Amino acid sequence: MNEALRNIKTRRVVREMSDQAVEREQIEAILEAARWAPSGGNLRPNRYVVIEDAETRRLLRLVAPGMFQRAPVLILICTNWQVVAQHHLPAHDRALLIDIGTAAQTMLLAAHALGLASGPVTSYSKEAVRIILNLPAHYSPEMFICIGHKAETARPGMRAWQPITWRDLTHWERFPERE
């Protein structure tokens, strides 16, 4: 199978990670991959905050009920609202959410390609994260990407709600006329 497709199919969200450190070069490679993610209008409103400090990570976990991982590296995807304003994008423009998604998936795949475990987290208090990281007012914290190494004792991930294939998700061509 094509290497890129194999990487896509074998990536999993990992919620249990070991204490093993992630090398700086690997973190930078993941960030560089995110730089190449598609961005609406090539405006690039995303900014990335990398957190390695153990105490900061501990505090972030305390305000992030969805962060089951004890990851050695956290990358926070932020929207830079100065960029949004500069380009006169409305705040509800869907491109902003799509940009977060494309950056996130690109980083998850890059991490997997480097032999690392990863998982996205969106269940946290944005206001609490803003305070803990002393974020600039024009940054909004949109999604954490946890990066680390899978724990040897990690349990299997959450099961699918129902068996699903790409065929279940796809319709070819026009839908039939409705009566």
d(CA 43, CA 60): 29
Residue 41 or residue 157: which is nearer to other proteins going by CB?
157
- Output the smallest distance, CB 124 to other proteins, in A: 7
Q: CB of 81 within 8 A of CB of 139?
A: yes
Residue 33 or residue 64: which is nearer to other proteins going by CB?
64
Check binding of 144 to other proteins (CB under 8 A). Answer: no
d(CA 164, CA 122): 24
Binds other proteins by CB under 8 A, chosen from 9, 92, 94, 155 = 155
Residue 15 or residue 47: which is nearer to other proteins going by CB?
15
6's CB contacts (< 8 A; 6+ apart) are none
Residues 104-133 touching other proteins, rule: CB under 8 A, are: 123-125, 127-128
- Output the smallest distance, CB 14 to other proteins, in A: 13
Residue 10 or residue 153: which is nearer to other proteins going by CB?
153
71's CB contacts (< 8 A; 6+ apart) are 17, 57, 119, 146, 147, 148
* CA-closest candidate to residue 116, choices 92, 147, 139: 147
Check binding of 162 to other proteins (CB under 8 A). Answer: yes
Q: CB of 96 within 8 A of CB of 81?
A: no
Binds other proteins by CB under 8 A, chosen from 22, 34, 64, 117 = 64
Binds other proteins by CB under 8 A, chosen from 1, 158, 164, 169 = 158
Cα angle for residues 64, 70, 76 (degrees, 5° grid)? 55
- Output the smallest distance, CB 165 to other proteins, in A: 17
Contacting positions for other proteins (CB under 8 A): 62-66, 68, 123-125, 127-128, 155-162
